Amino acid sequence: MNRKSKRIGARQALICTLSALMTVVASGQTPSAVLPDDKAVEKRVNALLDRMTLEEKIGQLSQLFLFGPSKQVDDALAKGQLGSLLFVTDPARINSLQRIAVEKSRLHIPLIFGFDVIHGFRTIFPVPIAMAASWDPSMVSAAQAIAAKEASSVGINWTFAPMVDIARDPRWGRIVEGAGEDPWLGSAMAAAQVRGFQGEYIGSPDHVLACMKHFAGYGAAEGGRDYDASNISETLLWNVYLRPFHAAVEAGVGSAMSAYMDLNDVPATGNRWLLHDVLRGDWRFQGFVVSDANAVKSLVVHGFAKDLPDAAVLALDAGVDMEMAIGTTAYSQNLAAAISSGKVTVQQIEEADRAVLGMKVRLGLFEHPYVDEARAARALATPEHRTAARVAAERSAVLLRNEGRLLPLGKTAYAKIAVVGPLADSQVDTLGSWAFNEDLTETVTVLAGLRNKAGSQAQLTFAPGVEISRKFPSPFAQLSRSKPPAPWTPEQAKDELRKAVDLAGSSDLTILVLGETQQMSGESASRESLALPGNEEQLLEAVAATGKPVVLVLLNGRPLDIRWAAQHIPAILEAWYPGTQGGNAIANLLFGDAVPGGKLPVTWPRDSGQVPIYYAHNTTQGPESQGKRYWDEESTPLYPFGYGLSYTTFTFSNLHVSQPQFRIGQTAEVTADVENTGPSTADEVPQIYIHQQYGSTSRPVRELKGFERITLAAHEKKTVHFSLGSKELSYWSAAKKAWVEEPARFDVWVGADSQATLHGSFTITQ
C-alpha cells in the first residue's frame, strides 16, 4: 500500500469512528424519558380544556416573535393567553419567560420555544442542500441530532425544520434550505432530518420537535421569485412536491408549517383540501400545523380573505392550529368574536388546542419547563460537535472537474500559493444563510483552513480581488452578526483586482474562492441571473490568463453559471456553504486527506435561460433532438443530477434483475457490481433509475428509486442491492385519479448519476 492509500485509509477509519460518535451524540446523554401513552395524553389535555376559559384556549393558538423586552408579552403570559414564543435563545431569558407562564398564570401551562435551527445551532453544519449532496441520510440525521442537542440545552423545544420543498428552479433563493429537485432523495433527507431532530420519539431527551415546511408547493414559485404563486399540475403535486412531506409524516414529524403562497389559486394557509383532506385525512397526520410568519394575516393580501377577522376564520377552518405572527395574531384579536357570531365553534378551537397541548405534554414541558443554565454552557462547548461538522462538510462537497488530476494537491508541490476571492476569508459567508446563534469566532474560513493545512510547507498569500453585494439589500441583514465593510471606491476596486491578478501571476498555484455571500441565498434571496456575482467572472478569467494552475472553490447555495470555468479551469470543487469547520474540510479535500464523494442533488444548468431544467422530464416529440431545443445554446445540463467525481475511478457492471417478469404487488431485486478501479480508498454512490415505457399517463424518462453511499478500497468490488416493489413502481395517475401500479415494460439503470448507461429491463403483468 502506498503512502497516499495509507493516509486515505486512515481517514476512512476516522470517518467510521465519527459515525459511532455521532450515534452516541444522537442518542442523548440523559436517561430516557417515559414515552407518553396516547390515552394518557388525551386525558390530561381534556382535563385542562375543561378548566380553560375561552381566552386561554385561544391564547394557546398564538405564537409571537420576541426580540427584546415586551410588557405586552409578559402580561399575555401571566394571563395564560400565549402558547409559544420564537427567537429567544438565551437560557436565562427563556427561564424568566417560562416562569411567568408556569408560575403566574392560572393553569400553569408552559410555553413552547421555537427557533430556526436549520443546519446547526452553535455548531453550524453545511447548509441543507449541501448535506443532501452527501447522499448520506445517516450522516444528515446525526448532524441534526447534534443541532437538536445544542438547541435543547438552552431551552429551545421546537425547530422550524426540515424544509422539504422540492425546488427545480435554482433562481429561487430557498433552494439552499432543501434537498434539491428529486422526490426520492428529498424524501430520504426529510425522514433523516425528522429522526435526527426528534430522536426515537417526540420528547426524547436532548431532542426537539421538528416542523416540516412549507406545506406545500412553495418551491415551485413562479419565476423562482420568493413568495410568488405556485401553479402545479395534479401529477407533479402528488408525484413530486408532496412526496417528501409524506415521508416526513411517515417518519413521525410532530408539526407542519403552512406555506405563504397561493397553491393553484388557493393560499396554502387557507387551503382546507391541503391541510385537512390530505394532511390529516389521507396521511393521518397527528401533529399540529403552525402558519408561516404573518401568513394568516396575508390571506387578506392574497385577496382570499375579506379582512383580518375573515382571515382568522378561514385559516382555523382550513386546519391551521397555531398562528405565527409579529406583534399580534389575527387569532387572538378575532376568534372570540367569530365564536359569538357563529362563524367558528368552540369545538374547533378545542381541536386545535388538543393538538398543541398534546405536543407540550409529549415534550415533557409540564414536568420539566425550565432549562439547566449551567448545563447549556457545557453542551455548547463540545469539540466532538466541531469534528462532526468538519466530516459533514467533507462528505457534502462535490468535485465537478479535475482535468489532468490537478487534485489532490501535493503538500510540498507548491512553494507559493495564492488564495484569491471575496469569500476566501469571510467567516459569515462560510456559514451560509439561516445561521443566527453561531460563535462567529469559531468559524474556519477557507484561507484559515489552508493555512492550518499548509503550515510552514508553503507560503500562502491572500487577496480578495473583488467585492460582491446584493443590488437590493436583504430584509434579514439586521439579523447578521457581521456587518459589511464600507464599499470600495472605483479606484480601490481597480487596485484590488490588479493586486489579486499580480499575486496569482507570481505564485505557483491559485486557489480561487468565488460564489455568493450569505445574504445572496435563502429567504427573500431569489436571483434573475445565475451568473457569478459582481466582477467575479472578470477576476476568474484574469487569474486564469496568468497561465498558472487554478483551483476554483465555490461557496454558494445554488448552481451558478460557470460555463467558462468548466472549459478553462482544471479543477472545480463545489463546497456549498460548508459551515463552522468549512475551511478545514476544504483544505482536507484539496490536499487529499479527504476524498470528495458528494453528488449533485440538482441538475446544474448552463445558464438561467434553461430553467426549469431537471432530469426527470417526460419524453416528448423528437426525443432525438432533446439536447438541441434551443438554437443558441445546448439544452442539456452542464452537469447532470447525481453527478460527482472522485480522486479514484469506479466501474459498474453485471446488472441483474431477479425476476425479468413479475406481477403487480410483487417485488424484484436488482443487483449490480461496483468496482474501485483506481489507486485509493474512496466513496461512490450507486443510484438506480427506472422508466415506465407506457401506461395511463406519460412517465418521466428516468426516476431515481434508490441509492447507497459505499466506501471501496483500491480495486475492491462490491455488489449493491436494490428492491423494486409497489413503493417504487406506483404513481399518481391523473387519468385515473388514483395511485396505480400498472402492467408495463420498464427500463432500469444503475450507475453513478442520472445519465447511467448500465441498463436492464423487466415487465410487470396484471
- CA of 568: how far to CAs of 388, 500, 549, in Å? 35, 19, 11
The mean pLDDT value for 23-34 works out to 42
The mean pLDDT value for 473-500 works out to 86
Separation CA 160–CA 172 (nearest Å): 19
Q: What confidence score (pLDDT) does residue 598 get?
A: 98
The mean pLDDT value for 479-489 works out to 78
Q: What digits encode the pLDDT tens for the residues 636-684? A: 999 999 999 999 999 999 999 999 999 999 999 999 999 999 999 999 9
- CA of 286: how far to CAs of 49, 201, 276, 280, 544, in Å? 19, 13, 11, 7, 57
DSSP string, 58-101: HHTTEEEE-SS--HHHHHHHHTT---EEES---HHHHHHHHHII
Q: What confidence score (pLDDT) does residue 34 get?
A: 63
Report CA 137 to chain centroid distance, whole Å.
12
- Bond before 568 cis per omega within 30 degrees: no
- From the DSSP assignment, how many helices (H) and strands (E) are in the chain? 24, 28
Place 475 in a pLDDT band, splitting at 50, 70 and 90: confident
User: What is the phi-psi region of residue 16: left when phi exceeds 0, alpha when psi lies from -120 to 50, beta otherwise?
Assistant: alpha
List CB contacts of 492: < 8 A, sequence separation 6 or more. none
Q: What backbone torsions phi and psi does residue 468 show, to the nearest 5 degrees?
A: -130, 150
Place 748 in a pLDDT band, splitting at 50, 70 and 90: very high
Class level of CATH domain 389-602: alpha beta
Report CA 514 to chain centroid distance, whole Å.
21
Helical (H) or strand (E) element with 418? strand 416-420
State the average pLDDT for the chain: 94
Answer whether residue 2 shows pLDDT above 60: no
Sign of the CA dihedral 404, 405, 407, 413?
Answer: negative
- CA of 541: how far to CAs of 515, 547, 681, in Å? 14, 10, 34
Cα torsion at 479, 482, 486, 487 (round to 10°)?
-80
Strands (E), 104-254: 112-115, 158-159, 211-215
Q: Which of 206, 292, 310, 683 is catalytic?
A: 292
More confident of the two residues 112 and 1: 112
Separation CA 647–CA 409 (nearest Å): 11
Separation CA 396–CA 390 (nearest Å): 10
Answer whether residue 308 shows pLDDT above 50: yes
For strands 703-707 and 710-712, give the pairing: unpaired
Place 329 in a pLDDT band, splitting at 50, 70 and 90: very high
pLDDT above 90: percentage of residues in the chain: 89
As a CATH number, domain 650-765 is 2.60.40.10
Separation CA 241–CA 223 (nearest Å): 17
Separation CA 73–CA 76 (nearest Å): 5
- State the pTM of this model: 0.95
Q: Residue 264: exposed, middle, or buried by beta-carbon count in 10 A (0-12, 13-18, 19+)?
A: middle
Q: What confidence score (pLDDT) does residue 229 get?
A: 97
Place 482 in a pLDDT band, splitting at 50, 70 and 90: low
Q: What confidence score (pLDDT) does residue 455 get?
A: 87
Answer whether residue 18 shows pLDDT above 90: no
Answer whether residue 11 shows pLDDT above 90: no
Q: Residue 623: exposed, middle, or buried by beta-carbon count in 10 A (0-12, 13-18, 19+)?
A: exposed
Q: Among candidates 746, 714, 718, which has minimal Cα distance to 652?
A: 718
List CB contacts of 39: < 8 A, sequence separation 6 or more. none
Q: What confidence score (pLDDT) does residue 481 get?
A: 65
Q: What confidence score (pLDDT) does residue 484 get?
A: 74
Q: What confidence score (pLDDT) does residue 27 get?
A: 38
Q: Residue 486: exposed, middle, or buried by beta-carbon count in 10 A (0-12, 13-18, 19+)?
A: exposed
Name beta bridge partners: 739. Answer: 732
Separation CA 86–CA 88 (nearest Å): 6
Q: What backbone torsions phi and psi does residue 623 show, to the nearest 5 degrees?
A: -60, -25
Answer whether residue 286 shows pLDDT above 90: yes
More confident of the two residues 17 and 240: 240
Catalytic annotation on 292? yes
DSSP string, 111-124: PEEEE--SSBSSSB
- Bond before 162 cis per omega within 30 degrees: yes
Separation CA 638–CA 212 (nearest Å): 32
C-alpha cell at 388: 462532526
Place 621 in a pLDDT band, splitting at 50, 70 and 90: confident
Fold match flag (23-377 vs 389-602)? no
Place 727 in a pLDDT band, splitting at 50, 70 and 90: very high
| DSSP 8-state symbol, 35 | P
Separation CA 265–CA 272 (nearest Å): 13
Domain chopping of the chain, boundaries:
23-377, 389-602, 650-765
Name beta bridge partners: 112. Answer: 84
The mean pLDDT value for 341-350 works out to 98
The mean pLDDT value for 94-104 works out to 98
Answer whether residue 173 shows pLDDT above 70: yes
Answer whether residue 23 shows pLDDT above 90: no
Class level of CATH domain 23-377: alpha beta
